[in-house]
């Protein structure tokens, strides 16, 4: 799968209402349609041919991220969506409404952007 093609076709992705409701309940807030569509691309891990280090997280990885990565993503208001290696994840901050890279070891935010396209 190619990331750029996927992002260009994002508006055509059918939202997985069940999973989105679980995520929204977990974070106690509604998430933007862009995020709903991204998490609905596939319930399993997604690899992108044009970005070899990038990996879209599976539903279980997103849902269990706080426990599995020992980071309180829910309290921080950030949803991890992509693994970029070296303990770095592309996340969406539901409080700031911004994208950035988050390092789970140091809990540092960097490369902030207002949209995923701008981020990439």
Q: Who's near 47: CB < 8 A, 6+ residues apart? A: 1, 54, 55, 56
Q: Give domain 3-119's CATH number out of 3.40.50.300, 3.40.50.10860, 3.40.1580.10, 3.30.2350.10.
A: 3.40.1580.10
pLDDT at 66: 94
Spans of the chain below 70 pLDDT: none
pLDDT at 3: 77
Q: What are φ and ψ of residue 37, in 5° steps?
A: -70, -40
User: What is the distance between the alpha carbons of residues 88 and 106, in angstroms, rounded to a whole number?
Assistant: 10
pLDDT at 10: 86
- Encode pLDDT of 83-98 as tens digits: 999 999 999 999 999 9
Spacing of C-alpha 60 from chain mean position: 12
Please indicate, yes or no, whether the overall pTM of this predicted structure exceeds 0.85: yes
């Amino acid at each position: 799968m190619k990331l750029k093609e996927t992002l260009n076709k994002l508006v055509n992705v059918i939202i997985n209402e069940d999973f989105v409701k679980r995520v929204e309940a977990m974070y106690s807030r509604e998430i933007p349609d862009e995020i709903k569509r991204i998490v609905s691309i596939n319930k399993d891990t997604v690899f992108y041919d044009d970005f070899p280090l990038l990996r879209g997280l599976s539903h279980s990885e997103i849902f269990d991220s706080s426990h599995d990565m020992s980071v309180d993503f829910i309290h921080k208001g950030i949803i991890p969506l992509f693994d970029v290696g070296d303990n770095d994840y592309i996340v969406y901050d539901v409080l700031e409404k911004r994208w950035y890279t988050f390092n789970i070891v140091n809990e540092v935010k960097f490369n902030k952007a207002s949209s995923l396209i701008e981020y990439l």
